[in-house]
Chain A
Amino acid sequence: MAKTFDVAVTGGGVVGLAILRRFAMAGLDCVLLERGNDILSGASKGNSALLHTGFDAPPGSLELACMQAGHAEYLAIRERLNLPLVRSGALVVAWSEAERDRLGAIIDQAHANGVADVRPVNPAELGRMEPNLSPGATGAVLVPGEHIIDPWSAPLAYAHQALAHGAEILRRAEVTGGEFAAGLWTLSSLAGTVRARLVINAAGNFGDRVETILRPSPFTIHPRRGQFVVFDKPAAHLVSAIILPVPTERTKGVVLFRTAFGNLAIGPTAEDVDEREVAATDTQTLNRLRERALAMLPALEGVGVNAVYAGLRPATQFKDYVIEAVVPERWITVAGIRSTGLTAALGIACHVEGLYARHFGELPSPPAPIWTPVPNLTEGLPRPYMQGGEIVCHCEWVTRAEIDAALAGPLAAGGLDGLKRRTRAMMGRCQGFNCAAHVEAIFREAQRGAP
């Protein structure tokens, strides 16, 4: 008879993986089902890679609580997982009198949210802090605790730590149905049947569809698309802090930010779309983003664009996260985790663990944690090429050994996209002109050798 898991998590995005990690580390038998050919192939693959303080989150919201817990836990565990942190801080910059008048309220809200170090910055000080920023800013707010992280290595590290604690991750395992009987869930998936005593639905852009296995979904996913433009590395030194706009009711707006990989990027837009599967870009929007970046940072003129991408954030009709336990059916819903998921994931996992303890019984006493540091891809920490080896991707200085490592083991890259995210091969200025054929040949060779 097939194994019965304590917990089955649907969705291998940053939230699902953080939950898997938390429950596996607590000593439960866990499995995760991901519909894509790799983890992080949905909403989590395209975000702005920022670690937020929650200074602008709705006061008293679950989102704020999870973001702040997630921010703190990331800082606490990142060194043991070899995860990067660029302590850039953020500046909310006002570009008009009307926007300047709203800065006071932003500071008040930040202080109410417990982010006490947020303070005003006058245009003269702003000019000293960010000399390349276009003149014409009317004022700013400094948020020292906003940081830049690596959006893929962090969830990858959570996944590896979960595996080290005995969890299983099934890919190409879209959940197609489920039955609950005698306190036990039987989930049907494209990777076979999975039995578990509890289901945690963290299916992101497909959360409402998975929810119908349990009940008519109380929430509907309305994917919100965000497009981004990434500039070449010479642009990164043009700004120090993350440059945020004064937010509107609907969105945090378009952000200008350095990446942990040494680029400069702008995005995201916020466009309501019907598409859940793939996020498309459009020429007009990309042009507008570039113009917006140039308007804020005139010295960007002439710097090349390395990449463009789009992500889909799983918004619902509700402003806050939807996280609740359905006790009789042994099910926990984790939905509507929009743009703050990367920051909040560890906090969400902790909150979900609390729900479990309250409704489904105490967790076993956890074994000693096993730390699974991931390879560093960012500029702030040592990288493998510095020790020698054959460089395959010359734009991002990715070595053959890194590519081979990403194609081996229980969480080997499931596709070329996953390989890019794990290594950054083909992610630089030439976008594979020089190395794509070689990298893809290595990938095909590994696929042939795979079981």
Chain B
Amino acid sequence: MERRDVVIVGGGPAGLSAALRLSQLGIGSVSVLEREPSAGGIPRHCGHLGFGWQSHRRIWTGPQFAARLRHDVEGLDVRTAHTVLGIDGDRLKVQNTDGVFELAAARILLATGTRETPRAPRFVGGTRPTGVMTTGALQAHVYLHHHKPFSRPVIIGSEWVAFSALLTCRHMGIRPVMMIEARDRISAPWPGGLAAGLLFGVRVRTRTRLVAISGRDQVDAVELECDGRTECISCDGVILSGEFVPEASLLANRPDAMLAGNVHGAVKTSGLCWREGREAAERIARGEA
């Protein structure tokens, strides 16, 4: 069985910066396992500006940032299309195009990122037409596959990522009809409501909750509730933004595994994830747990 000093699971900003830093610090054999065909993580499909400042003092689009991260680790052992199926002690069970094999690692760093809460666990009522998706899925449709899944969606939530959804919509000529937030103010740490209204012409409604989705094949309306009153809004899609949950299923058998990036804590920008990866590498180099 192949043995490595460090295996990093996840080749996004945190995982790649950890790999880079470990190589700079002269740590022996390090491998990054990335399940997608290309490393770079979520920024790969955030086609708008806003990436790179904390790490490289530049402002790039997500794909440009991802390309730079890949460039930074050229020559290092980054294995794409490698899916970690499970971890048992110091052994990782890994799948790639040839089959399933085991890899042993003295240290394991999980940098598996995060995902938005999809429809099902939100217990939204109604039917199940197409056109209901998270921001992440929308970005992949728009920036990776040049596909326009709807033209008049409602955006649920007002965290940072909801504004990423607005930018993604604008890129594709999609005109959101409304942004709703269940709390009594916008979640994003920014004059977000103002920006949504002024920059995008999208109405923002706070204290408003998504109750149900209707439509047989495609979404045709949403039912909203505000202060005890319900209202139907015509639309052809629903973007469920935010409510991030860590992609932490690999922690099941290694609850003590070292973490970096959005797999733990509150959701962070890609720049902060990059910094956490670097710090994790330094802790590994110092032999800390």
Interface of A toward B, CB cutoff 8 Å: 230, 232-234, 277-283, 286-287, 290, 304-309, 385-391, 394, 397, 416, 429-434, 436-438, 440-441, 444
Contact = CB atoms under 8 A, between A and B. Distances in A.
B144 A278 contact: no
B187 interface: no
A437 B121 contact: no
Contact of A433 (B128, B136, B252): B136
B125 A280 contact: yes
Interface stretch (B23-31, B92-100, B265-273): B92-100
A286 B123 contact: yes
Contact of A394 (B35, B124, B136): B35
A278 B137 CA distance: 25
Interface of B: 35, 37, 81, 83, 85, 95-100, 115-116, 118-121, 123-128, 130, 133-134, 136-137, 140-141, 144-145, 147, 149, 211-212, 214, 216, 245, 247, 249, 252
A432 B133 contact: yes
A279 B127 CA distance: 6
A441 B83 contact: no
Given A278-B127, A283-B123, A388 B95 contact: yes
Contacts of B100: 385-386, 388
B125 A432 contact: no
Nearest to A385: B95
Contacts of A431: 118-120
Contact of A432 (B37, B97, B123, B137): B137
Contacts of A309: 128
A386 B99 contact: yes
A283 B211 contact: yes
Nearest to B84: A394
B147 A437 contact: yes
Contacts of B140: 434, 436-438
A437 B144 CA distance: 8
A391 B83 contact: yes
B252 A234 contact: yes
B96 A388 contact: yes
A306 B97 contact: no
Contacts of A432: 118, 133-134, 137
Contacts of A441: 145, 147
Given A286-B123, A390-B97, A430-B115, 13 more contacts: A280-B126, A281-B126, A282-B212, A286-B125, A307-B120, A386-B100, A391-B83, A431-B118, A432-B134, A436-B140, A437-B140, A437-B141, A440-B149
20 contacts: A280-B126, A281-B125, A281-B126, A283-B212, A387-B99, A388-B96, A389-B97, A391-B35, A394-B35, A397-B95, A431-B120, A433-B116, A433-B137, A434-B137, A436-B140, A437-B137, A438-B144, A440-B141, A440-B145, A440-B149
B95 A436 contact: no
Contacts of B212: 280, 282-283
A308 B116 contact: no
A286 to B, nearest CB: 4
Given A391-B35, A432-B118, A440 B147 contact: yes
A307 B119 CA distance: 8
A306 B115 CA distance: 13
B120 A436 contact: no
Contacts of A286: 123, 125
Nearest to A308: B120
A419 to B, nearest CB: 12
